[in-house]
Structure 1
Amino acid sequence: MTDRIANAQLRGKVMSADEAAALIPAGAQIGFGGFTGSGYPKELPKALAARIKAAHEAGEDFTVNAFTGASTAPELDGVLAEVDGMGWRMPYQSDPTLRKKINDGTIRYTDIHLSHSAQLVAEGFCGRLDFAAVEATRITEDGSIVPTSSVGNNKTYLDMAEKVIIEVNSWQSLELEGMHDVWNGYLTPPNRPAIPITNPGDRIGDAFLTLDPGKVVAVIETEDPDRNSPFKPIDDDSRAIAGYLLDFYANEVEHGRMPKNLLPLQSGVGNIPNAVLDGLLKSDLENLTSYTEVIQDGMVDLIDAGKLTVASATAFSLSPEYAHKMNEGAEKYRRSIVLRPQEISNHPEVIRRLGVLSCNGMIEADIYGNVNSTHVCGTRMMNGIGGSGDFTRNAYISAFVSPSTAKNGAISAIVPMASHVDHTEHDVMVIITEQGLADLRGLAPRQRARKIIENCAHPDYRAQLTEYYEAALASSKAKHTPHDLAHSFDFHRSFLENGTMRLS
């Protein structure tokens, strides 16, 4: 791997993952690279987990605090959670073992807007950063790092950490070099300039991450692939939701509120967003753009078809098949893809300026349009808010999508009152299920309630929701946003007690 470690000083610090893990003491705070299963260190966390497990078996206390960009993969979040190796974690996660440990109280978890996380670390609110552990496709002659399949919070972690560990991964394509755009002009107020992005494809920084080579204590050579799971086949509900959204966009174009090629697209990860991208692929739309968090399979298809001219993000979220495809064609794809630090990819200033169209998933929405995207029944953390708040609050049009029911119909995605609120009614413009679409723009609360129940609720729950709303309207002295607080959470209470939100 000499060609991948061109700096002689850092080439002399190559060691095994076990040797590098031995440098990390109990209680260390570590900024790990990685975002949605891409570009995370893969060997160091496994070696660290083995060391922690051995310490626990010897009766010693040993945990570390883990910072990341977003979710990672089993080789990082999973292995450290399995050995109770994390004391604290931020800002977003999706690993089932880690989720269980968060919900049983073993691991403390701070859920942060992704655009805020780097600034909070830089300002010291999360304490000192002892180590940064990041992945590189190569190290340049001057010691700079060429990132791999994500940028995330790597810049801030490298800047703030006292010591740095680099995994140089030969599985990642050398042709990724030139795809990244790392801006060094993001200063703290009052010295912060405007971010000079006026088009999704604007490049404003460097193609590499800079650091002081003297901070590097270890370099690990790896050849491990990113571990994203294959996407599920697009089902009928997802196709129906995608159809409603694309028809809605077409109506906006017809009324002159958007250009024919739409505005820059943002979407969360999952089956429904991929159904939307598949619908765009089959449409007659051209010259599309995207300003988002992650590059998904459907975006690669749109680039291949010549329909998507540029996609700006902070990471890939690709199935194994498409990750291989990206590696094989990175030289071509870097002409159309820009990977930025997440404090830029998710920055409200740029999102608002570009007029981004946001589309994100939800756990539930209430009849007035408040959305819960993080907590099941108000207390059980699912994954975290991620970047949905960054985009929703600042989008030109913000949409939330979900099947109308879950757990074989036992859960309604439309409820009388959201058990936890991540996105208020003031920020949510459109709600879509396979039942239909509710355009909430310009509507008063009572109008919103009728439209959400009629258009988005499943027929099995429509009568229950209507009964609740009409009872609240009749009993509440305040008619602006009628609620019957004695029964606002009957749906959730029934699910916890009886396993279904259907009220007997």
Structure 2
Amino acid sequence: MTAEEAIAFIKPGTTIGASGFTGSGYPKAVPLALAAKIKEEADSGRTFRVNLWTGASTGPELDGALAEVNGIEFRMPYQSDTHMRDRINRGEAHYFDYHLSHSTPLVKSGAMGPLHTAVIEVTAIKSDGRLVPSSSAGNNQAWLDAAEQVILEVNSWQNADLEGMHDFYTIAPPPNTQPIPIMKADDRIGSPYMTVDPSKVVAVVETHIPDRNAPFSDPGEVEMKIAANLLDFLSHEVKMGRMPENLFPLQSGVGNIANAVLCGLMDSPFENMTSYTEVIQDGMINLLKAGKLRMASATAFSLSPDMAKYINDHMHEFQDKMILRPQDVSNNPEVIRRLGCIAMNSLIETDIYGNVNSTHVMGSRVMNGIGGSGDFARSASISVFMTPSTAKGGAISAIVPQACHVDHGSQDVRVIVTEQGLADLRGLSPKQRAETIIRNCAHPDYRPALLDYYKRARDVSVGQHTPVILDEALSWHSRFVKAGSMRA
């Protein structure tokens, strides 16, 4: 049926579990039709809102279209759309920001309440009813299992050669959970297909709409310096015998800095590398093409428009080089710890003691969400957080006396990297961490003020383990809000 006919099955107050992860494999036609219906109802003075669960962020036809018409009451577990973010920060929508690997177990436990409708994009439906997934795995199978009814979008834009690339494995809930039998990033342990109870499928909608991802800008001088600092560190770890010559499996967060690191690996001495991560980005595709990366295991693509088109046109060349898994497997702490992954993620700010804020601006405005960074940071062999040392033309320092929000406590942060340098925090006390971060990572414009704060804190703090001046700890943020700059 058409998307306009299919939305008759979706009522106000419905909880929708949609496919999609970082702009890949999300439904497009049904959400657009639903957004048009919501606007029509609003124009007639009637309220029509839904709750939306996904794998992670999606694209403009889903998050963007529904948020633009104020059609989302509740959102989880991650978002990055401008309209959605604005609704959340204006208090017009509730947002449950949650570790991505934990979202499936939470829904399976029943704590989130019922899932009324799953809207899942697939590449094809086999004659026996098995589903060929599209460009993300995410929480798709969990939504198909939990939903009371299912709407399928069969998107012919997605390349048929995606068939066979996925590896769906179901983790039983406690107390029957078994170890996940992944010993290396290459291992396949499940089925390339999703399954669904045919009696739950109420609509099948055919589409031909591309995934829409934002373009990446070319790495600038700052990003390349950050990458160089990190690659020097990894080379030193290999030299010291703490890491094999092909490194441990790589996990890379989304963004220009992460892609700069991946670009830097192209010219590095490291060969035969693997990746056990949550998203496959442009840089990983280039490493696969060059033969530097042997295997990329993830849950979705996160590609620029040009690279998405390239992959869609050349999918057959990568069928044995990429695996897409459910996100409770791709981000599973047990597997991450076993493989010894190197976690590389971005941050918004860190305080001098290494507490990292990766989600909030000035304490109260959420940017995107914690995503998978927490899944990887705590369990990785080395957890790296990267950032330029300043933002907003130098008006904001990424190194502050105290983080205004903490997503990753100092115990989960082993390395911090800026274009100024790298701070290896392993085995350091809080005061040693402060001195190392300020000396190695802070921008010269802010370094004297940070040192001044730290020295005075040691003089007046009631405790000397983690010295703090309570009246000044967040004064840099207050100054920015009032004056537009953290500079004194």
Map of 1:333-482 to 2, 5 A cutoff?
Answer: 333-482=318-467
Offset from partner CA, 1:152-194 (integer Å, 9 cap, x none) = 000100000010001000100000100000013x101111110
Whether 1:285 and 2:241 are equivalent positions in the alignment is no
Which residue pairs with 1:223 in the alignment? Answer: 208
Amino acid at match of 1:27: G
Kept after mapping to 1: 8 A contact 2:108/2:173: no
Looking at structure 2, the residues matched to 328 and 53 of structure 1 have their Cα atoms a distance apart, in angstroms, of: 36
Looking at structure 2, the residues matched to 476 and 56 of structure 1 have their Cα atoms a distance apart, in angstroms, of: 55
Looking at structure 2, the residues matched to 234 and 125 of structure 1 have their Cα atoms a distance apart, in angstroms, of: 43
Looking at structure 2, the residues matched to 241 and 153 of structure 1 have their Cα atoms a distance apart, in angstroms, of: 33
Looking at structure 1, the residues matched to 260 and 454 of structure 2 have their Cα atoms a distance apart, in angstroms, of: 33
Looking at structure 2, the residues matched to 314 and 237 of structure 1 have their Cα atoms a distance apart, in angstroms, of: 29
Which residue pairs with 1:11 in the alignment? Answer: none
Looking at structure 1, the residues matched to 241 and 308 of structure 2 have their Cα atoms a distance apart, in angstroms, of: 38
Gaps of 5+ in 1: 1-14
Offset of residue 317 of structure 1: 0.3
Which residue pairs with 1:6 in the alignment? Answer: none
Map of 1:44-63 to 2, 5 A cutoff?
Answer: 44-63=30-49
Amino acid at match of 1:107: A
1:178 to 160, 164, 169: 164
SS at match of 1:146: strand
Offset of residue 477 of structure 1: 3.0
Offset of residue 384 of structure 1: 0.3
Offset of residue 121 of structure 1: 1.0
Looking at structure 1, the residues matched to 78 and 364 of structure 2 have their Cα atoms a distance apart, in angstroms, of: 16
Which residue pairs with 1:149 in the alignment? Answer: 135
Amino acid at match of 1:324: K
Kept after mapping to 1: 8 A contact 2:38/2:71: yes
Map of 1:74-223 to 2, 5 A cutoff?
Answer: 74-184=60-170, 186-223=171-208
1:244 to 210, 229, 241: 229
Offset from partner CA, 1:422-442 (integer Å, 9 cap, x none) = 000001000001110000001
SS at match of 1:500: coil
| CA RMSD in angstroms, aligned pairs only | 0.6
Offset of residue 284 of structure 1: 2.4
Whether 1:321 and 2:306 are equivalent positions in the alignment is yes
Offset from partner CA, 1:266-297 (integer Å, 9 cap, x none) = 01011111111111111222100000000001
Amino acid at match of 1:415: V
Looking at structure 2, the residues matched to 388 and 233 of structure 1 have their Cα atoms a distance apart, in angstroms, of: 23
Calculate the TM-score normalised by the size of structure 1. Answer: 0.96
Kept after mapping to 1: 8 A contact 2:101/2:328: yes
SS at match of 1:398: strand
Which sits farther off after the overlay, 420-429 or 470-479? 470-479
Offset of residue 40 of structure 1: 0.1
SS at match of 1:206: coil
Which residue pairs with 2:10 in the alignment? Answer: 24
Looking at structure 2, the residues matched to 320 and 488 of structure 1 have their Cα atoms a distance apart, in angstroms, of: 42
| Count of aligned pairs between the two proteins | 488
Which sits farther off after the overlay, 16-25 or 344-353? 16-25
Amino acid at match of 1:206: S
Which residue pairs with 2:26 in the alignment? Answer: 40
SS at match of 2:136: coil
Map of 1:295-314 to 2, 5 A cutoff?
Answer: 295-314=280-299
Offset of residue 82 of structure 1: 0.6
Offset from partner CA, 1:346-371 (integer Å, 9 cap, x none) = 00000000000000000000000000
Looking at structure 1, the residues matched to 364 and 388 of structure 2 have their Cα atoms a distance apart, in angstroms, of: 21
Offset of residue 218 of structure 1: 0.6
Amino acid at match of 1:287: N
Looking at structure 1, the residues matched to 6 and 364 of structure 2 have their Cα atoms a distance apart, in angstroms, of: 38
Which sits farther off after the overlay, 277-286 or 45-54? 277-286
SS at match of 1:22: helix
Kept after mapping to 1: 8 A contact 2:297/2:330: yes
Offset of residue 478 of structure 1: 1.2
Q: Percent identity?
A: 59
Looking at structure 2, the residues matched to 469 and 197 of structure 1 have their Cα atoms a distance apart, in angstroms, of: 45
Amino acid at match of 2:168: V
Kept after mapping to 1: 8 A contact 2:274/2:294: yes
Which sits farther off after the overlay, 87-96 or 274-283? 274-283
Calculate the TM-score normalised by the size of structure 2. Answer: 0.99
Amino acid at match of 1:133: V
Amino acid at match of 2:6: A
Which sits farther off after the overlay, 426-435 or 318-327? 318-327
Offset of residue 336 of structure 1: 0.7
Looking at structure 1, the residues matched to 305 and 72 of structure 2 have their Cα atoms a distance apart, in angstroms, of: 28
Looking at structure 2, the residues matched to 189 and 129 of structure 1 have their Cα atoms a distance apart, in angstroms, of: 20
Kept after mapping to 1: 8 A contact 2:216/2:256: yes
Looking at structure 2, the residues matched to 124 and 88 of structure 1 have their Cα atoms a distance apart, in angstroms, of: 17
Amino acid at match of 1:329: H
Which residue pairs with 1:8 in the alignment? Answer: none
Looking at structure 2, the residues matched to 126 and 497 of structure 1 have their Cα atoms a distance apart, in angstroms, of: 39
Looking at structure 1, the residues matched to 320 and 454 of structure 2 have their Cα atoms a distance apart, in angstroms, of: 52
